[in-house]
Structure 1
Amino acid sequence: MSGCVFCGIVAGRVPAFRVVDEPDGVAFLDTRPVFKGHLLVVPRSHLVTLADLPVEALTGYFGLVRRLTVGVEAGLGAGGTFVAINTKVSQSVPHLHTHVVPRTKGDGLRGFFWPRTRYVDDAEAASHADRIRAALPGRA
């Protein structure tokens, strides 16, 4: 897509420190990493959100993400990884991308990046679960 920086990286028009360039996606270093080695993994085609990723592409795309988590841990000596996708809210580039962030014990990153809350009671929790379940699209 014209004007999309991630499409430019995939096409080779925008420079990036690529780690992987495969049919299932492209992975490159984030220019503003949470920690050094923070990767962004993008599908080759311009898709805005996870919901836009075709079902038939799930295995290949998330297989690539999985392989990269192993590579980040082994290659950087990380104790683990944080894997995340923002969809619409806080999605700074409107092109599906998955963050793979190296983690080490004591790195200062504490859980999620947002405040936590509690349900008033079990009935409120059950109501939220029911509303989500009722809105789920059919199985593919």
Structure 2
Amino acid sequence: MAAARSLASCIFCKIIKGEIPSFKLVETELSYSFLDIGPLSKGHALVIPKDHTVKMHELPDEYLADAMPIAKKIAIAQGLENFNILQNNGRIAHQEVDHVHFHVIPKPSASDNEGLVIGWPAQKPSMDDLKAFHAELVGKLEGKL
């Protein structure tokens, strides 16, 4: 019942259905894209899969395969040389809308006044820690653990 309520109240699902107006860019059977009304820079767009899924790892692969070429088309159409593709999962990772979506954010200049501004708090793990984590992760990816 909670899933049905979240689907019914989802702003992106309402945009897809045409219940909320948008500046539509590209629509396919699986995806819908439009200009962000609170852009970080001119041309900031969103690509949203039509499947109401909260996090990317829950989204069926065919939606991912459809969304990325749309993001690419939007970047090419704008002639972007510098841009970010952003996708957040979970509140502490800055996800604000509980529906998978991808931002195409132009970065027209080095200025922090336009486009995505991020920090990169790099860590310094030991080579032994990296080696151990690598072995663990490869084992999971290969289905050995």
TM-score (norm 1): 0.81
Partners of 1:63 and 1:17 in 2: how far apart?
19
* Aligned position for 1:96: 100
| Unpaired segments ≥5 residues, structure 1 | none
Verify the 8 A CA contact 1:49 1:96 in the aligned structure 2. yes
How many matched pairs?
134
- After the TM superposition, list the runs of 4 or more consecutive aligned residues in structure 1 that deviate by more than 4 angstroms: 109-112
Q: Structure 1 residues 23, 107: CA separation in 2 closer, same or farther (over 3 Å shift)?
A: farther
- Alignment partners' CA distance in 1, 2:74 and 2:142: 29
Q: Give the alignment of 1:1-140 within 5 angstroms.
A: 1-72=7-78, 74=79, 78-88=80-90, 89-108=93-112, 113-136=118-141
Unaligned runs of 5+ in 2: 1-6
Q: Once the 2 structures are TM-superposed, how far is the Cα of residue 137 of structure 1 from its aligned partner?
A: 7.4
SS of the residue corresponding to residue 87 of structure 1 reads coil
- 1:119/1:125 contact within 8 Å kept: no
For 2:85 and 2:35, the matched residues in 1 are separated by 14
Q: Is the 8 A contact 2:105 2:115 kept in 1?
A: no
Identity %: 25
TM-score normalized with structure 2 length: 0.78
Which amino acid counterpart does residue 136 of structure 1 have in structure 2?
A: L
